[in-house]
């Protein structure tokens, strides 16, 4: 939007009227790199997250114990465990109603499944080269297995439609078995459901080994949301001063934790402790914080202390396990599961046009293959030919050029 004049360049406004924001830009190369567009201008003030990994795999440990199963170490072992969840009534209600593998992201993408075989629905970096996931051998293996897992009842039959509330619904009904999601909110269910589901235990496990023997948590937190100033803004100076406030000590505390005394207090050692207004409600702590305007996706420096303060020991141990083991793969900037590289105005226009025809095309085919309305093996060669006719090879070239600039910047 900056390229086409919809957003104002902020460089001079920041220098003249936003000293706290300028200080961050001067001192934090990561923040500066995210904020600066390909033409050298700053059009958007990003949100910079301070944590390397926030999501991981969780499994019903109480179900494993009931069925005398071990924690799965490989993708094949995960298959066997989840199939046992489906077929052996671990919730003990006499019904075959368990949903072994579910995801809140199913309405957006299929990566939670594909990643088990190091496959991807979108672009990815392999050995320094941009690839488009659906054109790789890993994707063929992943989709072949995914189709079978769906037929076996392992994958949620409502994967593509269930949406954001699926954890509440499936875990609350003692039906959900395994998912990849936020450490903090996943771990909270151990407290929330302790009284209603005796013995409930939903704990983080290491990423299972894929067919290559790798354990990879496919998450990246480099590209981020943020905000800019419209070219039609009547008072850009007031707007940039407002942006600057969130980089002061007071603004940073307000956007990260809320209002002291209302949403949080500081302990004697300086740590954050949320009040009952946040911790003792029927909502997650993050949902309640957002009701107070905290942790919205604006230009800011996110402080991990905000999440640590409401994370229980299960979440903290899961996060520690992933970070210390180095499971996280972050060589490419991503935003909400899609590529977040920077393009020239010409590249951006061409790339956007190409991907407008490719992104929905891929999503539609994945759904058809998984749901069984179309045959993956029979379709695949034609699918690749269609991708090429739609310009995917040119899109890869554009992304490679942008990625090379990103690496060399």
For the stretch 95-147, pLDDT in tens is 999 999 999 988 888 999 999 999 999 998 888 899 999 999 999 999 999 99
- Distance CA(309)–CA(302), nearest Å, equals 13
Domain boundaries, the chain: 11-53+221-309, 342-408
Task: Report which DSSP code applies to 57.
Answer: E
- pLDDT score of 222: 43
- Given a contact cutoff of 8 angstroms between Cβ atoms, the answer to whether 64 and 91 are in contact is no
Residue 350: Cβ within 10 Å count:
17
pLDDT, tens only, 45-72: 988 877 767 899 999 999 999 999 999 9
Say if residue 77's pLDDT is above 50. Answer: yes
Q: What is the pLDDT of residue 73?
A: 98
- The mean pLDDT value for 323-342 works out to 66
Q: Whats the size of the chain, residue-wise?
A: 409
Residue 31 reports pLDDT greater than 90: no
Q: Are the CB atoms for 117 and 111 separated by under 8 Å? A: no
Give 184 or 58, the one with higher predicted confidence.
Answer: 58
Give 369-397 pLDDT, tens digit per residue: 999 999 999 999 999 999 999 999 999 99
Asked if 363 contacts 109 with a C-beta cutoff of 8 angstroms, the reply is yes
* pLDDT higher than 70, residue 86: yes
Q: What pLDDT shows up at residue 128?
A: 83
CA distance linking residue 361 with residue 294, whole number of Å:
37
Please tell me which of 36-50, 154-168, 279-293 the model is most confident about, judged by mean pLDDT: 154-168
pLDDT in tens, 187-200: 999 999 999 999 99
- When mean pLDDT is compared across 64-73, 161-170, 337-346, 395-404, the lowest value belongs to 337-346
pLDDT at residue 142, as a whole number: 98
At residue 332, the pLDDT reads: 57
DSSP letter assigned to residue 195: T
Single pTM value for the model: 0.87
Q: What's the confidence (pLDDT) of residue 267?
A: 94
Q: Across the chain, what does the average pLDDT equal?
A: 92
Residue 159 CB contacts under 8 Å (≥ 6 apart), including other chains: 102, 103, 106, 110, 150, 370
Rounded to a whole number, what is the largest CA-CA distance in the chain? 69
Helices (H), 246-310: 249-257, 276-279, 285-291, 305-308
Q: Which tokens hold the place of 149?
A: 């897992």
> Residue 283: pLDDT band by 50, 70, 90 thresholds?
confident
pLDDT cut 90: percent of the chain above it: 75
Q: Which CATH class, in words, describes the domain spanning 11-53+221-309?
A: alpha beta
Position 259 scores a pLDDT of: 98
Q: Has residue 3 got a pLDDT over 90?
A: no
Instruction: Choose between 178 and 192: higher pLDDT.
Output: 178
Q: What pLDDT sits at residue 36?
A: 87
Please give the pLDDT value at position 330: 57
């Amino acid at each position: 939007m900056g390229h086409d004049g919809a957003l104002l360049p902020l460089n001079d406004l920041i220098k003249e009227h936003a000293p706290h924001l300028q200080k961050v830009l001067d001192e934090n190369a990561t923040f500066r790199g995210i904020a600066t567009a390909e033409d050298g201008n700053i059009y958007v003030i990003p949100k910079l997250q301070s944590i390397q990994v926030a999501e991981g795999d969780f499994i019903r440990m109480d179900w494993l114990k009931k069925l005398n199963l071990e924690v799965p170490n490989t993708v094949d072992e995960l298959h066997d465990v989840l199939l046992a969840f489906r077929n052996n009534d671990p919730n003990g209600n006499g019904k075959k109603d368990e949903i072994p593998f579910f995801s809140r992201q199913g309405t957006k993408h299929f990566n939670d499944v594909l990643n088990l075989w190091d496959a991807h629905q979108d672009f990815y970096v392999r050995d320094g080269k941009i690839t488009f996931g659906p054109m790789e051998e890993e994707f063929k293996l992943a989709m072949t297995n995914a189709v079978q897992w769906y037929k076996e009842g392992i994958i949620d039959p409502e994967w593509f439609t269930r949406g954001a509330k699926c954890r509440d619904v499936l875990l609350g009904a003692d039906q959900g078995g395994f998912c990849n999601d936020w450490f903090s909110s996943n771990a909270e269910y151990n407290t929330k459901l302790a009284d209603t589901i005796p013995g409930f235990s939903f704990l983080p496990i290491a990423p299972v080994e894929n067919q290559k023997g790798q354990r990879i948590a496919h998450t990246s937190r480099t590209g981020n949301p943020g905000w800019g100033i419209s070219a039609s803004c009547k008072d850009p100076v007031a707007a940039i001063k407002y942006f600057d406030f969130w980089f002061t000590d007071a603004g940073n505390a307000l956007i990260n934790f809320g209002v002291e005394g209302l949403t949080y207090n500081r302990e004697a050692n300086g740590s954050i402790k949320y009040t009952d207004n946040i911790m003792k409600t029927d909502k997650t702590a993050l949902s309640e914080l957002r009701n107070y305007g905290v942790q919205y996706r604006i230009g800011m420096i996110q402080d991990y202390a905000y999440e640590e303060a409401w994370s229980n020991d299960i979440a903290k141990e899961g996060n520690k396990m992933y970070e210390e083991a180095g499971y996280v793969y972050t060589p490419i900037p991503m935003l909400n599961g899609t590529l977040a590289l920077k393009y020239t105005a010409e590249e951006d226009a061409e790339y956007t046009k190409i991907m407008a025809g490719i992104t929905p095309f891929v999503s539609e085919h994945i759904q058809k293959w998984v749901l069984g309305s179309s045959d993956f093996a029979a379709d695949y060669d034609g699918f690749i030919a269609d991708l090429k006719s739609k310009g995917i090879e040119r899109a890869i070239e554009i992304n490679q050029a942008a990625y090379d600039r990103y690496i060399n910047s």
